[in-house]
Amino acid sequence: MKPELKLAGTEKAKIIARDGHSISRKDIAPNALKVLYRLTSAGYHAYIVGGGIRDLMLQKKPKDFDVATDAAPEEVKDLFRNGRIIGRRFKIVHVRFGKEIIEVTTFRADHARSNEISNHPARRKIKGLDSAHSESGLILRDNVYGNIDEDAMRRDFTVNALYYTTDGFRVLDFCSGIEDLKAKTIRIIGNPVERYKEDPVRMLRAIRFSAKLNFTIEENTKKPIDELSYLLDSISSARLFDETLKLMTGGYAEKTFEMLRKFQLGTYLFAPTLEALSESGGSPANLVSLALKNTDDRLANGKSVTPAFLFASLLWPVLKLHLAKSKNLGLPPQKAFQQAAQSAISEQLHYTAIPKRFTLATREIWELQEKLKVRTKRNVDKVFNNSRFRAAYDFLLLREDSGEDLKGLGQWWTDFQVSDSETKLRLITTANKSQNRHKGKKQLARGRGE
């Protein structure tokens, strides 16, 4: 008998032998393999599952590798000194190797079966079954353990439910995931409405994978999304922040943003931005799409993107609208700016949480936009040495690219950065002369009552 067939549930899988798939151990993170080997030598069954296998099958580089096993979380933890049980909704074990974390989950089953499976091996050490639904069908806790075939059915999309085992190097496919991979299709497992009600974030994931993999969302998987998008209201703003980051930093932000808009899901993540975009258009709207494009380009070139910069861009049209309103109220500029920045950020916080360190940085990027204009020697030194200078300068260029006329300010700072100290001084002098001329003209105009 094939070894993995000893595991209950595997008889339901289509098994793809070593020579029938393109996955090789070499492509799997050594630490994920370590986890697999440790679990299997302790007598458990363990598989790599999810995005890791999906991406390898597509010849793409996986972001991470997740492990699924029949060992209970407590049992997994006992095997790894570097293992920690986390999560309340889903109990999982994080096995840490320096910066890398391998996520180990115990096979889960359907809630309806929670009464039948109290003898499941993974339940030996667990006190009390633990599953709960809200009235709307939302899963509140999901720690009901089951067999591998049941675990596959609890996953979101068929292409995310492929299991790889080093025991014979086989791939197990319980729900035609391989076929869907070939057809480039995102298909939800089970009844779409039920699955979205259980966890509305699956709608966001459908969009994310479709944009990232360039896959079509299968008709039944797509149909209910528009109508059920409101379910995102019930998801905590902290989880929505995490999902938003994944959506915006997956390398396909521009396309993802458009899709989110089209499916009405955007309203539950970026309502202030979308409202401002529909009201204002022009350069603030250009800035948003350019920022998303830039984000994708940066990631494609191996550069990093920060949430602070992302929110500074997404909320720029909101800030601009607030600024226009407070100008009408006749507030002094500094005060008007403070209020506008505060309002733009707090409006967004109704939708996604944003950790304070990021909102502070977002505000700084905005605040520096005014400071970049003042080119006295003292101010230039101060701004240049500010830890957010780089982000603020990038943002300035983005504003110019989006069509704002900033009188060559971006070019000035570009020149400044590459100049020797003598040229720097010359640049400062020239800038001040032209600024004074500009001021003089304004005063003259005011004096004439223009």
List residues with catalytic annotation: 64, 66, 156
- Helix, strand and coil in the chain, % to nearest 5: 60, 10, 30
In degrees, rounded to 5, the angle at the alpha carbon of residue 44 between the alpha carbons of residues 39 and 45 is 95
CA 163 to chain centre: 24
Query: Which residue is closest to Mg ion by CB?
Result: 51
Q: Candidates 17-25, 156-164, 308-316, 323-331 — which segment interacts with ligand ATP by CB under 6 A? A: 156-164
Q: Which of Mg ion, ligand ATP, none lies near 150, with the C-beta cut-off 5 to 8 A by kind?
A: none
Q: Which does 76 bind (CB under 5 to 8 A by kind): Mg ion, ligand ATP, none?
A: none
Which of 156, 218, 243, 296 touches ligand ATP (CB under 6 A)? 156
* Number of residues located near ligand ATP, criterion CB under 6 A: 12
> Binding residue for Mg ion (CB under 5 A) from 42, 51, 216, 338?
51
Pairing of strands 100-106, 66-69: parallel
> Does 64 interact with ligand ATP (rule: CB under 6 A)?
yes
Least Cβ distance, residue 258 to ligand ATP (angstroms):
19
Pick from 12, 29, 33, 64 the residue near Mg ion by CB under 5 A: 64
Largest CA-CA distance found in the chain, in angstroms, rounded: 97
Residues in region 354-413 near ligand ATP by CB under 6 A: none
Residue 51 backbone phi and psi in degrees, to 5: -55, -35
What is the rounded CA–CA span in Å between residue 282 and residue 46? 54
**Contact criterion met (CB below 8 Å) for 228 and 339:** no
Window of 3-11, 178-186, 195-203, 406-414 that interacts with ligand ATP by CB under 6 A: 195-203
Residues 6+ apart with CB under 8 A from 63: 51, 55
Find the residue with minimal CB distance to ligand ATP: 51
The residue within the footprint of ligand ATP, chosen from 50, 83, 121, 146 (CB under 6 A), is 50
| Residue (189 or 398) nearer to ligand ATP, CB | 189
Q: Which one-letter DSSP state was computed for residue 233? A: G
Report d(CA 325, CA 432) in Å as an integer.
31
Site residues (CB under 6 A) for ligand ATP?
Answer: 50-51, 63-64, 66, 155-156, 160-161, 199, 201-202
